[in-house]
Amino acid sequence: MDFTMTLYLRHYWKDERLSFTSTTNKSMTFDGRLVKKIWVPDVFFVHSKRSFIHDTTTENIMLRVFPDGHVLYSLRVTVTAACNMDFSRFPLDSQSCSLELESYAYTDEDLMLYWKSGDESLSIDDKISLSQFLIQKFHTTSRLAFYSSTGWYNRLYINFTLRRHIFFFLLQTYFPATLMVMLSWVSFWIDRRAVPARVSLGITTVLTMSTIITGLNASMPRVSYIKAVDIYLWVSFVFVFLSVLEYAAVNYLTTVQERRERKLRDRAVREQSLPCACGMSHTRTMMLDGTYSEADTNSLAGYTEAPMVPEEVVPEKQEHMVVHLSMSSESTNTKKKGIRGLRIMQNTHAIDKYSRMIFPGAYVIFNLIYWSVYC
Protein backbone atom coordinates (compact mmCIF):
# COMPACT_ATOMS: atom_id res chain seq x y z
CA MET A 1 0.00 0.00 0.00
CA ASP A 2 1.00 3.63 -0.50
CA PHE A 3 0.71 6.75 1.58
CA THR A 4 1.11 10.38 0.57
CA MET A 5 2.59 13.00 2.86
CA THR A 6 3.17 16.70 2.47
CA LEU A 7 5.92 18.10 4.66
CA TYR A 8 8.26 21.01 5.19
CA LEU A 9 11.75 19.56 4.98
CA ARG A 10 14.34 21.70 6.73
CA HIS A 11 18.10 21.13 6.58
CA TYR A 12 20.66 22.67 8.89
CA TRP A 13 24.41 22.70 8.29
CA LYS A 14 27.39 24.98 8.56
CA ASP A 15 29.42 26.18 5.58
CA GLU A 16 32.15 28.61 6.60
CA ARG A 17 32.51 29.69 3.00
CA LEU A 18 29.13 31.43 3.33
CA SER A 19 30.00 33.36 6.51
CA PHE A 20 29.94 37.12 6.30
CA THR A 21 30.46 40.14 8.56
CA SER A 22 27.35 41.70 10.03
CA THR A 23 27.12 44.41 12.67
CA THR A 24 23.53 43.50 13.51
CA ASN A 25 24.11 39.72 13.43
CA LYS A 26 21.07 39.26 11.25
CA SER A 27 20.65 36.48 8.73
CA MET A 28 20.11 36.89 5.03
CA THR A 29 17.23 35.13 3.24
CA PHE A 30 17.28 34.03 -0.40
CA ASP A 31 14.93 32.22 -2.75
CA GLY A 32 15.58 29.09 -4.78
CA ARG A 33 17.80 30.80 -7.34
CA LEU A 34 20.79 30.77 -4.99
CA VAL A 35 20.40 27.06 -4.23
CA LYS A 36 21.87 26.14 -7.59
CA LYS A 37 25.06 28.12 -6.83
CA ILE A 38 25.96 26.65 -3.44
CA TRP A 39 26.41 23.18 -1.97
CA VAL A 40 23.27 21.57 -0.51
CA PRO A 41 22.74 18.03 0.86
CA ASP A 42 21.59 15.53 -1.76
CA VAL A 43 18.82 14.01 0.39
CA PHE A 44 16.27 11.76 -1.28
CA PHE A 45 13.31 9.67 -0.09
CA VAL A 46 13.98 5.95 0.02
CA HIS A 47 11.15 3.78 -1.40
CA SER A 48 9.53 6.89 -2.84
CA LYS A 49 7.22 6.30 -5.78
CA ARG A 50 6.55 9.90 -6.62
CA SER A 51 7.59 13.23 -5.12
CA PHE A 52 7.66 16.85 -6.16
CA ILE A 53 8.45 20.32 -4.83
CA HIS A 54 5.52 22.70 -4.86
CA ASP A 55 5.94 25.55 -7.30
CA THR A 56 2.79 27.64 -6.90
CA THR A 57 3.21 30.54 -7.33
CA THR A 58 6.98 30.12 -7.26
CA GLU A 59 9.14 27.27 -6.06
CA ASN A 60 8.51 26.75 -2.34
CA ILE A 61 12.19 26.93 -1.42
CA MET A 62 13.86 29.13 1.16
CA LEU A 63 17.55 29.59 1.93
CA ARG A 64 18.66 31.48 5.03
CA VAL A 65 22.34 32.19 5.74
CA PHE A 66 23.63 33.35 9.12
CA PRO A 67 26.78 35.46 9.62
CA ASP A 68 28.70 32.56 11.19
CA GLY A 69 28.09 30.34 8.15
CA HIS A 70 25.10 28.36 9.46
CA VAL A 71 22.57 27.62 6.74
CA LEU A 72 18.85 26.82 6.90
CA TYR A 73 17.47 25.21 3.78
CA SER A 74 13.69 24.64 3.70
CA LEU A 75 11.42 23.31 1.00
CA ARG A 76 7.81 22.15 0.77
CA VAL A 77 7.54 18.72 -0.78
CA THR A 78 4.87 16.07 -1.31
CA VAL A 79 6.00 12.47 -1.42
CA THR A 80 4.19 9.20 -2.12
CA ALA A 81 5.98 6.23 -0.60
CA ALA A 82 5.34 2.54 -0.06
CA CYS A 83 4.26 1.08 3.25
CA ASN A 84 4.28 -2.64 3.96
CA MET A 85 0.89 -3.13 5.55
CA ASP A 86 -0.35 -6.32 7.18
CA PHE A 87 -4.08 -6.89 6.66
CA SER A 88 -4.37 -10.09 8.68
CA ARG A 89 -6.32 -8.20 11.37
CA PHE A 90 -8.24 -5.93 8.97
CA PRO A 91 -10.30 -3.89 9.83
CA LEU A 92 -9.21 -4.15 13.47
CA ASP A 93 -5.62 -3.43 12.56
CA SER A 94 -2.90 -0.89 13.27
CA GLN A 95 -0.31 -0.07 10.63
CA SER A 96 3.24 1.17 11.19
CA CYS A 97 4.77 3.10 8.31
CA SER A 98 7.94 5.09 7.88
CA LEU A 99 9.35 7.73 5.58
CA GLU A 100 13.08 7.26 5.03
CA LEU A 101 15.61 9.93 4.09
CA GLU A 102 19.15 9.29 2.94
CA SER A 103 22.00 10.94 1.12
CA TYR A 104 22.27 9.68 -2.42
CA ALA A 105 26.00 10.19 -3.05
CA TYR A 106 27.78 10.85 0.23
CA THR A 107 28.59 7.95 2.55
CA ASP A 108 28.74 8.22 6.33
CA GLU A 109 32.43 9.16 6.01
CA ASP A 110 31.53 12.22 3.94
CA LEU A 111 28.17 13.29 5.34
CA MET A 112 26.59 12.65 8.73
CA LEU A 113 22.80 12.94 8.89
CA TYR A 114 21.01 13.18 12.27
CA TRP A 115 17.89 14.67 13.77
CA LYS A 116 18.57 18.06 15.32
CA SER A 117 16.27 17.64 18.36
CA GLY A 118 15.25 13.99 18.30
CA ASP A 119 11.48 13.44 18.35
CA GLU A 120 11.00 17.18 18.88
CA SER A 121 12.31 17.68 15.37
CA LEU A 122 8.87 16.61 14.18
CA SER A 123 6.10 19.14 14.45
CA ILE A 124 2.62 17.92 13.50
CA ASP A 125 -0.49 19.90 12.69
CA ASP A 126 -3.08 18.97 15.31
CA LYS A 127 -5.89 19.58 12.84
CA ILE A 128 -4.81 16.77 10.56
CA SER A 129 -7.35 13.94 10.45
CA LEU A 130 -7.80 10.93 8.21
CA SER A 131 -11.07 9.35 7.17
CA GLN A 132 -10.06 5.76 7.87
CA PHE A 133 -7.17 6.08 10.32
CA LEU A 134 -6.33 7.66 13.63
CA ILE A 135 -2.76 8.97 13.85
CA GLN A 136 -1.48 7.63 17.13
CA LYS A 137 2.14 8.75 17.33
CA PHE A 138 5.18 10.01 15.43
CA HIS A 139 8.76 9.31 16.38
CA THR A 140 12.19 9.51 14.78
CA THR A 141 15.04 7.02 14.45
CA SER A 142 18.32 6.84 12.55
CA ARG A 143 20.60 4.01 11.54
CA LEU A 144 23.15 2.99 8.95
CA ALA A 145 22.19 1.41 5.65
CA PHE A 146 24.67 -0.74 3.75
CA TYR A 147 24.96 -1.14 -0.01
CA SER A 148 27.43 -3.73 -1.21
CA SER A 149 28.57 -1.62 -4.15
CA THR A 150 28.88 1.81 -2.50
CA GLY A 151 29.20 1.38 1.26
CA TRP A 152 27.46 2.68 4.40
CA TYR A 153 25.02 5.57 4.46
CA ASN A 154 23.20 7.43 7.21
CA ARG A 155 19.46 6.97 7.01
CA LEU A 156 16.82 8.94 8.90
CA TYR A 157 13.35 7.56 9.63
CA ILE A 158 10.03 9.27 10.27
CA ASN A 159 7.94 6.56 11.92
CA PHE A 160 4.23 6.85 12.56
CA THR A 161 1.48 4.48 13.66
CA LEU A 162 -2.03 4.48 12.21
CA ARG A 163 -5.02 2.79 13.80
CA ARG A 164 -8.01 2.12 11.57
CA HIS A 165 -11.43 3.47 12.46
CA ILE A 166 -13.79 0.53 13.03
CA PHE A 167 -17.12 2.36 13.07
CA PHE A 168 -17.42 2.55 9.28
CA PHE A 169 -16.92 -1.20 8.92
CA LEU A 170 -19.32 -1.92 11.76
CA LEU A 171 -22.07 -0.10 9.86
CA GLN A 172 -21.20 -1.35 6.39
CA THR A 173 -20.06 -4.93 7.03
CA TYR A 174 -20.45 -6.40 10.52
CA PHE A 175 -23.92 -5.09 11.33
CA PRO A 176 -25.53 -6.14 7.99
CA ALA A 177 -23.89 -9.58 8.19
CA THR A 178 -25.18 -10.08 11.73
CA LEU A 179 -28.68 -9.04 10.67
CA MET A 180 -28.63 -11.53 7.80
CA VAL A 181 -27.68 -14.34 10.16
CA MET A 182 -30.45 -13.37 12.58
CA LEU A 183 -32.90 -13.13 9.68
CA SER A 184 -32.07 -16.68 8.64
CA TRP A 185 -33.18 -17.85 12.11
CA VAL A 186 -36.72 -16.58 11.44
CA SER A 187 -37.31 -19.67 9.28
CA PHE A 188 -37.12 -21.85 12.43
CA TRP A 189 -40.41 -20.29 13.59
CA ILE A 190 -42.16 -20.71 10.24
CA ASP A 191 -44.32 -23.79 9.69
CA ARG A 192 -42.26 -26.52 8.08
CA ARG A 193 -45.02 -27.08 5.52
CA ALA A 194 -44.67 -23.47 4.27
CA VAL A 195 -42.09 -24.42 1.67
CA PRO A 196 -42.14 -21.18 -0.44
CA ALA A 197 -41.74 -18.95 2.61
CA ARG A 198 -38.78 -20.80 4.12
CA VAL A 199 -37.00 -21.47 0.83
CA SER A 200 -37.29 -17.86 -0.37
CA LEU A 201 -36.06 -16.58 3.01
CA GLY A 202 -33.05 -18.89 2.95
CA ILE A 203 -32.08 -18.00 -0.63
CA THR A 204 -32.44 -14.27 0.09
CA THR A 205 -30.12 -14.38 3.09
CA VAL A 206 -27.52 -16.47 1.22
CA LEU A 207 -27.48 -14.10 -1.76
CA THR A 208 -27.26 -11.04 0.50
CA MET A 209 -24.27 -12.49 2.34
CA SER A 210 -22.60 -13.22 -1.00
CA THR A 211 -23.15 -9.59 -2.06
CA ILE A 212 -21.61 -8.27 1.17
CA ILE A 213 -18.53 -10.47 0.75
CA THR A 214 -18.09 -9.56 -2.91
CA GLY A 215 -18.51 -5.83 -2.28
CA LEU A 216 -15.91 -5.82 0.49
CA ASN A 217 -13.32 -7.78 -1.48
CA ALA A 218 -13.76 -5.47 -4.48
CA SER A 219 -12.45 -2.52 -2.43
CA MET A 220 -9.61 -4.43 -0.79
CA PRO A 221 -6.13 -5.24 -2.12
CA ARG A 222 -5.77 -8.80 -3.30
CA VAL A 223 -3.78 -10.54 -0.59
CA SER A 224 -3.03 -14.24 -0.32
CA TYR A 225 -3.87 -14.62 3.37
CA ILE A 226 -7.09 -14.54 5.37
CA LYS A 227 -8.20 -11.27 6.94
CA ALA A 228 -10.12 -10.90 10.18
CA VAL A 229 -13.20 -9.64 8.36
CA ASP A 230 -13.06 -12.68 6.05
CA ILE A 231 -13.31 -14.98 9.05
CA TYR A 232 -16.38 -13.15 10.36
CA LEU A 233 -18.15 -12.97 7.01
CA TRP A 234 -17.49 -16.56 6.01
CA VAL A 235 -18.54 -17.93 9.39
CA SER A 236 -21.72 -15.85 9.09
CA PHE A 237 -22.20 -17.23 5.58
CA VAL A 238 -21.84 -20.78 6.93
CA PHE A 239 -24.51 -20.09 9.58
CA VAL A 240 -26.90 -18.79 6.91
CA PHE A 241 -26.16 -21.74 4.65
CA LEU A 242 -26.67 -24.23 7.48
CA SER A 243 -30.09 -22.75 8.19
CA VAL A 244 -31.04 -23.56 4.60
CA LEU A 245 -29.68 -27.10 4.96
CA GLU A 246 -31.59 -27.45 8.23
CA TYR A 247 -34.89 -26.85 6.48
CA ALA A 248 -33.89 -29.22 3.69
CA ALA A 249 -33.35 -31.93 6.29
CA VAL A 250 -36.64 -31.12 8.08
CA ASN A 251 -38.59 -31.11 4.83
CA TYR A 252 -37.07 -34.41 3.69
CA LEU A 253 -37.71 -36.19 7.00
CA THR A 254 -41.26 -34.82 7.14
CA THR A 255 -41.96 -36.05 3.61
CA VAL A 256 -40.58 -39.51 4.38
CA GLN A 257 -42.64 -39.83 7.56
CA GLU A 258 -45.83 -38.60 5.90
CA ARG A 259 -45.36 -41.17 3.15
CA ARG A 260 -44.82 -43.89 5.74
CA GLU A 261 -47.88 -42.75 7.69
CA ARG A 262 -49.97 -42.84 4.55
CA LYS A 263 -48.92 -46.42 3.84
CA LEU A 264 -49.71 -47.50 7.40
CA ARG A 265 -53.08 -45.79 7.25
CA ASP A 266 -53.99 -47.43 3.94
CA ARG A 267 -52.96 -50.82 5.28
CA ALA A 268 -55.11 -50.37 8.37
CA VAL A 269 -58.14 -49.46 6.23
CA ARG A 270 -57.67 -52.54 4.05
CA GLU A 271 -57.37 -54.82 7.08
CA GLN A 272 -60.52 -53.45 8.69
CA SER A 273 -62.52 -54.03 5.50
CA LEU A 274 -61.74 -57.79 5.46
CA PRO A 275 -64.69 -60.11 6.58
CA CYS A 276 -62.48 -62.65 8.32
CA ALA A 277 -62.06 -62.22 12.05
CA CYS A 278 -59.70 -65.11 12.71
CA GLY A 279 -57.79 -65.00 15.90
CA MET A 280 -60.06 -62.39 17.52
CA SER A 281 -58.98 -61.54 21.00
CA HIS A 282 -61.21 -58.58 21.87
CA THR A 283 -64.88 -58.13 21.14
CA ARG A 284 -66.97 -55.02 20.85
CA THR A 285 -70.68 -54.68 20.40
CA MET A 286 -72.28 -53.12 17.31
CA MET A 287 -75.96 -52.32 16.91
CA LEU A 288 -77.62 -53.22 13.63
CA ASP A 289 -81.05 -52.05 12.72
CA GLY A 290 -83.61 -54.73 12.05
CA THR A 291 -84.02 -53.46 8.53
CA TYR A 292 -80.91 -55.44 7.52
CA SER A 293 -81.72 -58.74 5.84
CA GLU A 294 -80.52 -62.04 7.11
CA ALA A 295 -78.13 -62.31 4.16
CA ASP A 296 -76.56 -59.05 5.21
CA THR A 297 -76.08 -60.18 8.73
CA ASN A 298 -74.70 -63.52 7.62
CA SER A 299 -72.02 -61.67 5.63
CA LEU A 300 -70.56 -60.54 8.97
CA ALA A 301 -68.58 -63.74 9.29
CA GLY A 302 -66.78 -64.07 12.54
CA TYR A 303 -69.08 -61.76 14.51
CA THR A 304 -70.87 -63.22 17.53
CA GLU A 305 -74.60 -62.75 17.58
CA ALA A 306 -76.16 -61.75 20.91
CA PRO A 307 -79.73 -62.13 21.99
CA MET A 308 -82.20 -59.59 20.74
CA VAL A 309 -82.75 -56.60 22.96
CA PRO A 310 -86.34 -56.48 24.19
CA GLU A 311 -88.54 -53.79 22.71
CA GLU A 312 -89.20 -52.35 26.16
CA VAL A 313 -85.52 -51.49 26.54
CA VAL A 314 -85.06 -49.93 23.12
CA PRO A 315 -87.24 -46.89 22.64
CA GLU A 316 -87.32 -47.24 18.87
CA LYS A 317 -89.99 -49.35 17.28
CA GLN A 318 -87.63 -51.10 14.92
CA GLU A 319 -85.86 -54.26 16.01
CA HIS A 320 -82.15 -54.09 16.70
CA MET A 321 -79.54 -56.78 16.48
CA VAL A 322 -76.55 -56.68 18.77
CA VAL A 323 -73.40 -57.97 17.11
CA HIS A 324 -70.06 -58.27 18.88
CA LEU A 325 -67.37 -56.78 16.59
CA SER A 326 -63.97 -58.21 17.37
CA MET A 327 -60.69 -56.41 16.86
CA SER A 328 -57.78 -58.58 15.89
CA SER A 329 -54.34 -58.23 17.38
CA GLU A 330 -53.05 -57.03 13.99
CA SER A 331 -55.30 -53.97 14.12
CA THR A 332 -53.95 -53.17 17.56
CA ASN A 333 -50.39 -53.41 16.27
CA THR A 334 -51.26 -51.17 13.35
CA LYS A 335 -52.49 -48.52 15.77
CA LYS A 336 -49.27 -48.74 17.72
CA LYS A 337 -47.24 -48.32 14.56
CA GLY A 338 -49.28 -45.28 13.61
CA ILE A 339 -48.67 -43.70 17.02
CA ARG A 340 -44.95 -44.43 16.72
CA GLY A 341 -44.85 -42.79 13.27
CA LEU A 342 -46.67 -39.76 14.65
CA ARG A 343 -44.03 -39.43 17.34
CA ILE A 344 -41.30 -39.53 14.69
CA MET A 345 -43.04 -36.75 12.81
CA GLN A 346 -43.13 -34.74 15.98
CA ASN A 347 -39.40 -35.37 16.39
CA THR A 348 -38.73 -33.95 12.93
CA HIS A 349 -40.53 -30.83 14.10
CA ALA A 350 -38.24 -30.87 17.16
CA ILE A 351 -35.28 -30.19 14.86
CA ASP A 352 -36.60 -26.65 14.47
CA LYS A 353 -36.98 -26.35 18.23
CA TYR A 354 -33.39 -27.40 18.81
CA SER A 355 -32.17 -25.10 16.04
CA ARG A 356 -33.82 -22.13 17.75
CA MET A 357 -31.40 -22.62 20.64
CA ILE A 358 -28.32 -24.12 18.99
CA PHE A 359 -27.88 -21.60 16.15
CA PRO A 360 -28.12 -18.39 18.25
CA GLY A 361 -26.05 -19.92 21.05
CA ALA A 362 -23.26 -20.99 18.70
CA TYR A 363 -23.23 -17.60 16.97
CA VAL A 364 -23.01 -15.75 20.29
CA ILE A 365 -20.09 -17.94 21.35
CA PHE A 366 -18.36 -17.26 18.02
CA ASN A 367 -18.79 -13.49 18.48
CA LEU A 368 -17.39 -13.61 21.99
CA ILE A 369 -14.31 -15.48 20.83
CA TYR A 370 -13.88 -13.30 17.72
CA TRP A 371 -14.07 -9.91 19.45
CA SER A 372 -11.97 -11.06 22.40
CA VAL A 373 -9.18 -12.17 20.05
CA TYR A 374 -9.11 -9.20 17.64
CA CYS A 375 -10.04 -6.31 19.90
Instruction: Give the tens place of pLDDT for each residue, 215-259.
Output: 998 888 888 899 999 999 999 999 999 999 999 999 888 888 888
Residue 348: what pLDDT? 53
Residue 275: what pLDDT? 57
Q: What is the mean pLDDT of residues 254-269?
A: 85
| Residue 56 per-residue DSSP state | S
Check pLDDT > 50 for residue 306.
no
Measured CA to CA in angstroms, residue 154 lies from 41, 44, 77 at distances of: 12, 12, 21
Judged by average pLDDT, the poorest of 9-18, 210-219, 312-321, 334-343 is 312-321
Q: Are 122 and 137 in contact (CB under 8 A)?
A: no
Residue 22: what pLDDT? 83
Check pLDDT > 70 for residue 330.
no
Residue 327: what pLDDT? 42
Check pLDDT > 70 for residue 315.
no
State which H helix or E strand residue 141 sits in: strand 133-147
Instruction: Give the tens place of pLDDT for each residue, 75-114.
Output: 999 999 999 899 999 999 999 999 999 999 999 999 999 9
Q: What is the mean pLDDT of residues 332-359?
A: 65
Give the pLDDT band (50/70/90) at residue 276.
low
Residue 274: what pLDDT? 61
Judged by average pLDDT, the poorest of 61-65, 120-124, 253-257, 313-317 is 313-317
- Model pTM? 0.71
How many of the other CB atoms lie within 10 Å of CB of 190?
14
Helices and strands (H, E) in the chain, number of each type:
6, 12
Give the pLDDT band (50/70/90) at residue 126.
confident
* Residue closest to 322 by CA, chosen among 375, 354, 285, 273: 285
**What distance in Å separates the CA atoms of residue 296 and residue 305, rounded to the nearest whole number?**
13
Give the pLDDT band (50/70/90) at residue 127.
confident
Instruction: Give the tens place of pLDDT for each residue, 160-195.
Output: 999 999 999 999 999 999 999 999 999 999 888 888
Q: What is the mean pLDDT of residues 25-37?
A: 88
**What distance in Å separates the CA atoms of residue 257 and residue 346, rounded to the nearest whole number?**
10
Judged by average pLDDT, the poorest of 66-75, 109-118, 254-263, 340-349 is 340-349
Q: What structural domains does the chain harbor?
A: 2-164 (2.70.170.10), 168-265+358-374 (1.20.58.390)
Q: What is the mean pLDDT of residues 355-363?
A: 95
Judged by average pLDDT, the poorest of 78-82, 268-272, 337-341, 348-352 is 337-341
Judged by average pLDDT, the poorest of 194-198, 203-207, 316-320, 366-370 is 316-320
* Bridge partner residues of 305 (DSSP): 323
Check pLDDT > 60 for residue 321.
no
Q: What is the average pLDDT value for the chain, to the nearest integer?
A: 82
Residue 333: what pLDDT? 52
Q: Which residues contact 165 (CB under 8 A, 6 or more apart)?
A: 131, 132, 133, 134
